[in-house]
A and B are shown apart, each in its own frame.
Chain A
């Protein structure tokens, strides 16, 4: 994990150093005197050689101190603390809803595999996946929020419960519906893989009913790849909802990064990218450890 982390830091550093614009020019704006530019360069350490700058970068990462945002003068560490709750309010319910809806649907179509129901659901899934997420949001926001008035079109408050029950339901609903199609398709293939295995044939041979086989044998074994897939989705919980946040004006982390990209606010982008990469690695590590409990056949090397 340490070499990977070093690689991530190096990649981000090289990317912004080599291909990024000159920070002093972005900061000083169009009309700046040479003294101003020089002062900014000294302040950011840009007058030092590259290895010294890399040292500064690493020190910033370890001390959790990326300084201030270039554009809003906000402490970068504060951005995490203030934006993350809004993001999690949206993404955690989405993840729970998506997975808990996809597992029974996938089990159902796997049970009726090869029939008209199975083929119809799969065709609907492919067609549903071919329409851009944007279209679902635009139409959903217009019809459910604007025309029918069931939900507020957009907005956010400081109260967690009000957010969760007033402003969050529409984005959560839209994202869960969109996520359902690919998840169902994937989980169906996990279930089908299991139905071909020997223990299912044995269970049939000893006269178990088809539904008991599904519930007791196939489901339990198929949960291992499902768990893998969920652990892959978990890192997305932290930024995954950036489109929803932009459309529904939710002050979350994803929207903040998008705004930072538009403002060329390098410290914010760098900090968010690096810390979320670290988080992703930790989640993957936790998932690996979790496997050994779920499936004793797997051993950590």
Chain B
């Protein structure tokens, strides 16, 4: 009787998928993270929260569920709309002769002031923008910054770590020196120095808009941990038999480094990458809060929190709540997912 034996070994990634499914916390976290990713994809394409910067409500519009709450700022604004007659100053105003011309030129332009809502689903900010839209758009910006910066830091750290670990000798010495230099500067000071030169420096106009300033700052300060890990892995792997075998059949150094060794250390890189995403999002929020992060015409969790600080004093808590909840759910889910990922990729660690 011939027993049919399936000898195809399970691939590392399908094993990861199987273990993740068994881990309930990991599966739920993965679901939340995927939901966020879908949300920011829609937001990026403009289907969702595309009009976050439109002033759709009265200032500090109440959230719909507490619509009856007194809203002094909003009521003032409504009254100003209805009583829009300015006092007659034409007798004393030296610009009075120009009135007619201005009137005519105003008539050429068509301006529509949309009716401002008194309540919004999750309230409005100081200019009457929808806080829920802002939170969705802010998620897109904050997560994009975190992920992009983590990818850049990973590329830098992996390349340098691979070279240092694979070649050893003087390459290793030079890169270790570079690593020591970067780690002996306290990271917040390096971040501040980079922010200072990138904001006022020769290339300031290049980065004036967009998220690249903060991505560069984070990547340049954050690659060191990745470098250390990858270097240690490459030192371990470079003299293993499979690498020596590859060398024997004539594989070049580059091929051994990136075709043979890299897939075998990719799980270390993946876990470190997700740790970096969490850390970078936290730093981005603080930098944007301080006005050193994303530019003023964008919204991120950090800029929302900086507005929330003054709003809280007059009792408008919803923007703070929205930014905090969106951020906390994502970071918690992502951290839990990272933990599950580490357990799934490295069963020995349990």
Chain A residues near B (Cβ < 8 Å): 3-5, 7-8, 11-12, 15-16, 18-22, 26, 126-127, 129-135, 138-139, 142, 146, 235-236, 238-240, 242-243, 246, 254, 257-258, 260-262, 264, 266, 269-270, 272-273, 276-277, 280-281, 284
Q: 22 A-B contacts, Cβ less than 8 Å apart?
A: A4-B180, A19-B198, A22-B202, A126-B336, A131-B328, A131-B331, A132-B302, A132-B324, A134-B285, A134-B289, A134-B302, A138-B309, A139-B312, A142-B313, A236-B186, A239-B188, A239-B189, A242-B188, A243-B286, A257-B189, A260-B196, A277-B185
Task: List the 5 closest A-B pairs by CB distance, nearest first.
Answer: A7-B181, A130-B331, A264-B200, A20-B197, A21-B200
**Interchain CB contact under 8 A, B202 and A12:** no
Which residue from chain A places its CB closest to the CB of B195 in the assembled complex? A261
Which residues of B are found within 8 Å of A266, using beta-carbon distances? 196
What residues of A have a CB within 8 angstroms of the CB of B335 in the complex?
A: 126, 129-130
The answer for the CA separation of A276 and B309 in the assembled complex, in Å, is: 31
Assembled-state Cα–Cα distance A126/B290 (Å): 25
The residue in chain B whose Cβ has the minimal distance to the Cβ of A143 is B312
Given contacts A132-B327, A277-B184, 10 further A-B contacts (CB under 8 A): A7-B181, A15-B193, A130-B332, A130-B335, A134-B289, A135-B320, A239-B188, A261-B192, A262-B291, A276-B189
Min C-beta distance of A165 to chain B, whole Å: 26
B19 at the interface (CB under 8 A from A): no
Indicate with 1 or 0, residue by residue over B280-292, a CB within 8 angstroms of chain A CB atoms: 0010011001111
Closest to B312 in A: A142
From A132, A238, A269, name the one whose CB has the most chain B CB atoms within 10 angstroms.
A132
Task: Give, as a whole number of angstroms, the nearest-CB distance from A131 to chain B.
Answer: 5
Q: What distance in Å separates the Cβ of B323 from its nearest Cβ neighbour in chain A?
A: 8
How far is it, in angstroms, between the C-alpha of A224 and the C-alpha of B290 when the chains are bound? 37
Cβ-based interface call for B194 (8 A): yes
Closest B residue to A279 using CB positions:
B186
Q: Which residues of B contact A (CB under 8 A)?
A: 177-178, 180-182, 184-186, 188-190, 192-204, 282, 285-286, 289-292, 301-302, 305, 308-309, 312-313, 320, 323-324, 327-332, 335-336
- A270 to B195: give the CA distance in the assembly, Å: 13
Instruction: Check A15 against B197 for contact (C-beta < 8 Å).
Output: yes
Closest-by-CB residue of B relative to A15 is B197
- Complex-state Cα separation, A7 to B182, whole angstroms: 9
Contacts of A129 in B (CB 8 A): 331, 335
Interface of B is mostly: helix
Contact between B196 and A131, CB atoms less than 8 A apart:
no
- For B291, the closest partner residue in chain A by CB is A262
Q: A132, B196: Cβ atoms under 8 Å?
A: no
Task: Decide yes or no: A138 and B193 within 8 Å by CB, A130-B327, A281-B184 being known contacts.
Answer: no
B201 touches A19 (CB 8 A): yes
Beta-carbon nearest neighbor of B190 in chain A: A273
- Determine how close the nearest CB of chain A comes to the CB of B71; give it in whole angstroms: 20
**Which residues of the other chain, A, contact B177 by a CB distance below 8 angstroms?**
3-4, 7
Query: Complex formed: what's the CA distance from A151 to B199 in Å?
Result: 37
Residues of A within 8 A of B309 (CB): 138
| CB closest chain-B residue, reference A18 | B202
Q: In the bound complex, how far is the Cα of B286 from the Cα of A26, in angstroms?
A: 26
**Shortest Cβ distance from B331 into A: residue:** A130
**CB pair A8 B285 closer than 8 Å:** no
Contact A272 B202 (CB under 8 A): no
B220 (CB) vs chain A CBs: closest residue: A15
Given contacts A26-B200, A269-B193, are A132 and B290 in contact (CB under 8 A)? Answer: no
- With a cutoff of 8 Å between Cβ atoms, the chain A residues found around residue B198 in the complex are 19
Within the complex, which residue of B178, B189, B302 is in contact with A7, where a contact is CB–CB below 8 Å? B178
CB-based contact B181/A246 at 8 Å: no
Give, as a whole number of angstroms, the nearest-CB distance from A88 to chain B.
Answer: 15
Cβ B327 vs Cβ A138 within 8 A: no
Q: A261-B292, A280-B184 are in contact. Are A138 and B328 (CB under 8 A)?
A: no
Q: Is A132 a contact of B201 with CB atoms below 8 Å?
A: no
Tell me the bound Cα distance from A5 to B184 in angstroms.
9
Specify which of A130, A235, A273 is in contact with B193 (CB 8 Å cutoff). A273
The smallest C-beta distance from B7 to any residue of chain A, in angstroms, reads 35
A21: chain B residues at CB < 8 Å are 197, 200-202, 204
Q: How far is the CB of A265 from chain B (nearest CB, A)?
A: 8
A239 & B186 in contact (Cβ 8 Å cutoff): yes
**Chain B residues near A142 (CB, 8 Å)?**
312-313
Q: Looking at B177, B193, B282, B289, which has the most chain A CB atoms within 10 Å of its CB? A: B193
CB neighbours (8 Å) of B291 from chain A are 262
A240 to B312 alpha-carbon distance, docked (Å): 26
Residue of A133, A264, A273 with highest tally of chain B CB at under 10 A: A273
A15 to B302 CA separation, bound complex (whole angstroms) = 27
Query: B186 and A7: CB pair below 8 A?
Result: no
Taking a contact as CB atoms under 8 Å apart, the answer to whether B328 and A19 are in contact is no
Q: Quick one: which of B181, B328, B331 has the most chain A CB within 10 A?
A: B181
Q: How far is the CB of A124 from chain B (nearest CB, A)?
A: 11
Instruction: Give Cα A22–Cα B285 distance, bound, in whole angstroms.
Output: 30
Q: How far is the CB of B223 from chain A (nearest CB, A)?
A: 14
Q: How far is the CA of A127 from the CA of B201 in the complex (A)?
A: 39
Q: Across the interface, which residues of A come within 8 angstroms of B332, CB to CB?
A: 126-127, 130
> Chain A residues with Cβ under 8 A from B285's Cβ?
132, 134
Structural contact, A132 and B282, CB atoms closer than 8 A: yes
Cross-chain contact B189 with A272 (CB below 8 angstroms): yes
In the assembly, what is the distance between CA of A295 and CA of B252, in Å? 44
Which among A126, A133, A257, A273 is the interface contact of B185 at CB below 8 angstroms? A273
Nearest neighbor of A16 in chain B, beta-carbon distance: B197
